[in-house]
């Protein structure tokens, strides 16, 4: 493996941080543009580099010692990409940028222009995302698929007991978890909506909302409007994601568009039955619904019906959980994703050649 400098910042998405934490190599360095991110799921060593005037470009110039020894700079956020471009231009390493999903058309157009202007290698989590970028004009050799890694949960029963005990929830209560980061279009209001509707039928159901995100305040406000806000638990960074998943009985992802799939594949690897909106990335990751119950986007009725079905049809839930676990082991194992990342780095080094 080449020597890699990973570049992040405090606003790096949880999706990207989760992937970086599982893919970082033993000899790699991680630098943050300004203060580093915080959270229970990202506890790897990070060098925080002062960002003068909040400028990622000026911050990049302060990363000289780290940058000079790197053969690849791998950026994981918009600020990281700006710093990575300066590092690549000034110090000469190949530049890889990873994004959690294919950007919206206007942002994709800007990214395509950067791909053409710079020796930049882009990774997306799915084949459909790559196809969309190529159709938008991205050079085929510059865009690669890097699946998000996910591992089976170690000692799931022990984690389940300890997490539920910490939450004060007994085995008689069923937990529905919405583990995606609280960002625009992630669909947490549909999770709250579905919980409130199904809660009128099943009194033993609570909603767990771990982590946080830029829209956490909005998600909390909407939860309170459902009349069941007291049964929707915002656990923040109290538990690592594997612990929260182990405590749950089903997972939901009701996003309105693709926003990232790392939490989805983590839930699949955890063997949870899943209900999700049928966005392109989700459909690909779940084998077109063979490893999850897929529903139309922005449809609270369908979301509620899917949750109810998983709660009341135990054989179906068990079958979907087994399919999800098998799909994750086959397509998203950390070993497979690390091997794919090595191929991406090799391509970036070739592209960076004379």
Listing DSSP states for 101-163 in one string gives SPPPHHHHHHHHHHHHHS-EEEEESSHHHHHHHHHTT--GGGEEE-PPP--PPSSHHHHHHHH
**Four-point Cα dihedral 191, 193, 198, 200, nearest 10:** 140
Report pLDDT for 147: 97
The CATH label, of 3.40.50.1100, 3.30.70.100, 3.40.50.2000, 3.30.420.10, for the domain at 4-148+335-351 is 3.40.50.2000
pLDDT higher than 80, residue 300: yes
- What does each C-alpha distance from 346 to 1, 149, 339, 351, 353 come to in angstroms? 9, 19, 11, 9, 11
User: Which 3-state string (H, E, C) describes 15-36?
Assistant: HHHHHHHHHCCCCCEEEEEECC
User: Band of the pLDDT at 82, cuts 50, 70, 90?
Assistant: very high
pLDDT higher than 90, residue 353: no
Q: What is the pLDDT of residues 259-295, one digit of tens each?
A: 999 999 999 999 999 999 999 999 999 999 999 999 9
pLDDT higher than 80, residue 40: no
User: Band of the pLDDT at 199, cuts 50, 70, 90?
Assistant: very high
pLDDT higher than 80, residue 323: yes
**Spatial distance between the Cα atoms of 149 and 335, rounded to a whole number of angstroms:** 8
User: Band of the pLDDT at 181, cuts 50, 70, 90?
Assistant: very high
pLDDT higher than 80, residue 319: yes
pLDDT higher than 90, residue 212: yes
Percent of the chain with pLDDT over 90: 92
Where in the chain are the domains?
4-148+335-351, 156-331
Same fold, 4-148+335-351 and 156-331: yes
Q: Please give the CATH number for the structural domain made up of 156-331.
A: 3.40.50.2000
User: Band of the pLDDT at 131, cuts 50, 70, 90?
Assistant: very high
Tokens (6 digits) for 182: 């609280």
């Amino acid at each position: 493996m080449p020597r890699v400098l990973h570049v992040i910042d405090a606003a790096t998405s949880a999706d990207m941080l989760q992937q970086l934490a599982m893919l970082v190599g033993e000899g790699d360095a991680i630098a943050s543009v300004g203060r580093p991110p915080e959270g229970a799921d990202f506890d790897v060593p990070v060098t925080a580099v002062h960002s003068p005037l909040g400028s990622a470009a000026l911050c990049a110039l302060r990363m000289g010692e780290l940058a000079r020894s790197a053969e690849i700079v791998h950026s994981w956020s918009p600020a990281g990409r700006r710093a990575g471009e300066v590092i690549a231009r000034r110090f000469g390493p190949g530049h890889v940028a990873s994004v959690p999903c294919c950007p919206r058309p206007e942002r994709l157009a800007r990214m395509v222009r950067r791909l053409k202007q710079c020796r930049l290698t882009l990774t997306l989590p799915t084949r459909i995302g790559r196809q969309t970028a190529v159709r938008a004009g991205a050079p085929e050799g510059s865009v690669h698929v890097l699946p998000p890694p996910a591992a089976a949960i170690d000692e799931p029963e022990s984690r389940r007991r300890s997490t539920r005990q910490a939450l004060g929830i007994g085995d008689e209560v069923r937990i529905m978890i919405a583990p995606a980061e609280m960002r625009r279009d992630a669909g947490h209001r549909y999770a709250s909506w579905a919980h409130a509707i199904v809660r009128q039928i099943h009194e033993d159901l609570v909603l767990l909302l771990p982590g946080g995100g830029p829209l956490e305040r909005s998600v909390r406000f909407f939860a309170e409007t459902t009349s069941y806000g007291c049964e929707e638990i915002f656990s923040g960074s109290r538990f690592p994601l594997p612990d929260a998943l182990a405590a749950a009985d089903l997972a939901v992802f009701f996003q309105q568009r693709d926003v990232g799939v790392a939490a989805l594949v983590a839930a699949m690897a955890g063997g949870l039955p899943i209900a999700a909106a049928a966005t392109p990335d989700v459909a690909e990751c779940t084998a077109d619904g063979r490893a999850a119950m897929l529903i139309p986007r922005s449809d609270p009725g369908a979301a509620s019906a899917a949750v109810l079905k998983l709660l009341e049809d135990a054989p179906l839930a068990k079958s979907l959980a087994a399919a999800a676990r098998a799909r994750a082991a086959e397509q998203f194992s950390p070993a497979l994703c690390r091997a794919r990342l090595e191929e991406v780095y090799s391509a970036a080094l070739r592209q960076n050649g004379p």
